[in-house]
């Protein structure tokens, strides 16, 4: 099974990604674990590389409605809504692309960045599958910065395109929020061609299927909430998700799983989170438990065999993780991590402004 896509025409992009490490860490000493400092400096260097016209598209006000106007549709489908926020890679120079990847690398783990690159590269496969459809473009991924990058003031940034939305908010320049975090894959498994067998979100599918198949009939009566999977993730691209969206909670409680099943579920949740750097996730987990099992439920809908549409949801008191694979004969994945009433740092911002009232930085 392939999990990494390395096509010849993508080698320059990968070289730029690795070059970004040097471009974003050189020329100024930063503490080894100063991720907020790294992130702010990477954003500043990217912004400095832009001309005035580019900067107007990238540098947006933090309190702009565009900050929460995220989506996982192709950019061509968003034109009627004013287009995707930010500047696409397609319109960047080689230096700017490297610096954009440098910013992305300050947030993502190694595996998360490689998965991001693979999601982007799948656009080239889709273009071939769809007879040269120009809307499928590996370079139509946009970067936007909201507010002024700082280690003291609140700001944020996004990296987004078809089947990918990475959203970072730094409240007070230090406290991280990474939701909504969306990774998708079409095709989920490449059926033909040089990349035959490539499965970009393999663990998210295989581990969940293994878990649901391991359930006893009694456990399944709680876990399986519908015979047919919904057509898409239920939260869609809404700017926020309240706890009432999934109330009362459905699924099998963590406590009613065996020890082995519990470990599988926790591993699955951690896989959603571990796309980001450990320093980022550790800070979030200290503030808001991500995968400790308390109040966690696992729900499944649809079939359990390959080729059958399926959906699952993992819900905790603070977060919801959704996965849907129903389109294209169940070969098209949407997977998202959301925080109840806390996406885009909303919960942190409330506490921040209550402690020291002031307008958005």
Do 31 and 48 meet the contact criterion of CB atoms below 8 Å apart? no
Q: For residue 294, what are the contacts with CB-CB under 8 A and spacing of at least 6?
A: 254, 316, 317
Q: What is the pLDDT along the chain (361 residues), one digit of tens a residue?
A: 444 433 334 444 444 544 444 444 444 455 658 999 999 999 999 999 999 999 999 999 999 999 999 999 999 999 999 999 999 999 999 999 999 999 999 999 999 999 999 999 999 999 999 999 999 999 999 999 999 999 999 999 999 999 999 999 999 999 999 999 999 999 999 999 999 999 999 999 999 999 999 999 999 999 999 999 999 999 999 999 999 999 999 999 999 999 999 999 999 999 999 999 999 999 999 999 999 999 999 999 999 999 999 999 999 999 999 999 999 999 999 999 999 999 999 999 999 988 876 555 5
Q: Are residues 26 and 171 in the same domain?
A: yes
Q: Are residues 166 and 210 in the same domain?
A: no
Q: Are residues 15 and 158 in the same domain?
A: yes
Do 186 and 334 meet the contact criterion of CB atoms below 8 Å apart? no
Q: What distance in Å separates the CA atoms of residue 322 and residue 180, rounded to the nearest whole number?
A: 11
Rounded to whole angstroms, what are the CA distances from 64 to 47, 61, 144, 189? Answer: 18, 5, 12, 38
Interval 92-116: pLDDT, tens:
999 999 999 999 999 999 999 999 9
Interval 278-318: pLDDT, tens:
999 999 999 999 999 999 999 999 999 999 999 999 999 99
Q: Are residues 28 and 114 in the same domain?
A: yes
Rounded to two decimals, the pTM is 0.91
Q: Give the total number of structural domains in the chain.
A: 2
Q: What are phi and psi of 182, to 5 degrees?
A: -120, 130
The pLDDT of residue 361 is 53
The pLDDT of residue 31 is 60
Q: Classify residue 361: in a domain, yes or no.
A: no
Q: Are residues 246 and 323 in the same domain?
A: yes
Q: Are residues 175 and 214 in the same domain?
A: no
The pLDDT of residue 356 is 74
Q: For residue 295, what are the contacts with CB-CB under 8 A and spacing of at least 6?
A: 254, 316, 317
Q: Are residues 142 and 262 in the same domain?
A: no
The pLDDT of residue 14 is 43
Q: Which domain holds residue 336?
A: 202-341
Give, as one character, the DSSP assignment of residue 220.
H
Burial (0-12, 13-18, 19+ Cβ within 10 Å), 308:
middle
The pLDDT of residue 354 is 86
Do 99 and 194 meet the contact criterion of CB atoms below 8 Å apart? no
Q: Classify residue 59: in a domain, yes or no.
A: yes
Q: Are residues 121 and 266 in the same domain?
A: no
Q: Classify residue 185: in a domain, yes or no.
A: no
Q: For residue 71, what are the contacts with CB-CB under 8 A and spacing of at least 6?
A: 78, 84, 160, 165, 237
Q: What distance in Å separates the CA atoms of residue 13 and residue 19, rounded to the nearest whole number?
A: 10
Give, as one character, the DSSP assignment of residue 245.
G
Q: Is the dihedral of CA 334, 255, 295, 270 positive or negative?
A: negative
Q: Are residues 211 and 151 in the same domain?
A: no
Q: Are residues 134 and 283 in the same domain?
A: no
- From first CA to last CA, the distance across the chain in angstroms is 47
The pLDDT of residue 24 is 43
Do 279 and 33 meet the contact criterion of CB atoms below 8 Å apart? yes
ω before 59 within 30° of 0 (cis)?
Answer: no
Q: For residue 107, what are the contacts with CB-CB under 8 A and spacing of at least 6?
A: 39, 166, 168, 178, 276, 277, 280
Q: Classify residue 52: in a domain, yes or no.
A: yes
Q: Are residues 86 and 163 in the same domain?
A: yes
Q: Classify residue 226: in a domain, yes or no.
A: yes
Q: Are residues 21 and 75 in the same domain?
A: yes
Report the DSSP beta bridge partners of residue 155. Answer: 170
* Beta carbons within 10 angstroms of residue 280's beta carbon: 23
Q: Classify residue 347: in a domain, yes or no.
A: no
Q: Classify residue 319: in a domain, yes or no.
A: yes
Q: Classify residue 187: in a domain, yes or no.
A: no
- Whose tokens are 């959704």? That residue is 322
């Amino acid at each position: 099974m392939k999990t990494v896509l390395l096509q010849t025409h993508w080698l320059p992009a990968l070289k730029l990604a690795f070059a970004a490490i040097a471009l974003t860490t050189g020329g100024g000493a930063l503490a080894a674990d100063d991720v907020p400092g790294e992130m702010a400096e990477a954003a500043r260097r990217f912004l400095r590389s832009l001309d005035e016209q580019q900067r107007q598209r990238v540098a947006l006000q933090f309190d702009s409605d565009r900050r929460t106007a995220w989506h996982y549709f192709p950019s061509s489908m968003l034109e009627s809504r004013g287009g995707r926020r930010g500047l696409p890679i397609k319109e960047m120079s080689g230096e700017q692309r490297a610096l954009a990847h440098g910013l992305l690398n300050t947030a993502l783990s190694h595996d998360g960045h490689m998965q991001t690159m693979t999601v982007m590269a799948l656009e080239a496969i889709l273009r071939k599958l769809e007879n040269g459809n120009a809307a499928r473009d590996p370079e139509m991924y946009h970067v936007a910065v909201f507010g002024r990058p700082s280690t003291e003031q609140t700001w944020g940034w996004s990296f987004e395109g078809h089947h990918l939305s990475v959203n970072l908010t730094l409240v007070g320049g230090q406290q991280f929020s990474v939701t909504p975090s969306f990774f998708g894959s079409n095709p989920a498994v490449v059926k033909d061609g040089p990349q035959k067998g490539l499965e970009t979100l393999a663990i998210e599918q295989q581990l969940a299927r293994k878990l649901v198949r391991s359930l006893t009939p009694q456990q399944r009566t709680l876990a399986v909430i519908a015979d047919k999977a919904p057509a898409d993730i239920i939260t869609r691209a809404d700017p926020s998700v309240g706890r009432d969206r999934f109330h009362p909670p459905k699924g099998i409680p963590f406590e009613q799983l065996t020890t082995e099943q519990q470990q599988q579920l926790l591993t699955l949740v951690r896989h959603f989170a571990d796309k980001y750097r450990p320093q980022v996730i550790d800070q979030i987990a200290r503030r808001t438990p991500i995968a400790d099992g308390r109040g966690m439920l696992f729900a499944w809908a649809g079939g359990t065999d390959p080729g059958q549409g399926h959906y699952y949801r993992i819900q905790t008191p603070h977060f919801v993780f959704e996965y849907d694979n129903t389109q294209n004969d169940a070969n098209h994945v949407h997977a998202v991590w959301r925080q109840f009433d806390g996406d885009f740092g909303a919960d942190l911002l409330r506490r921040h402004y209550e402690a020291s009232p002031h307008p958005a930085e």
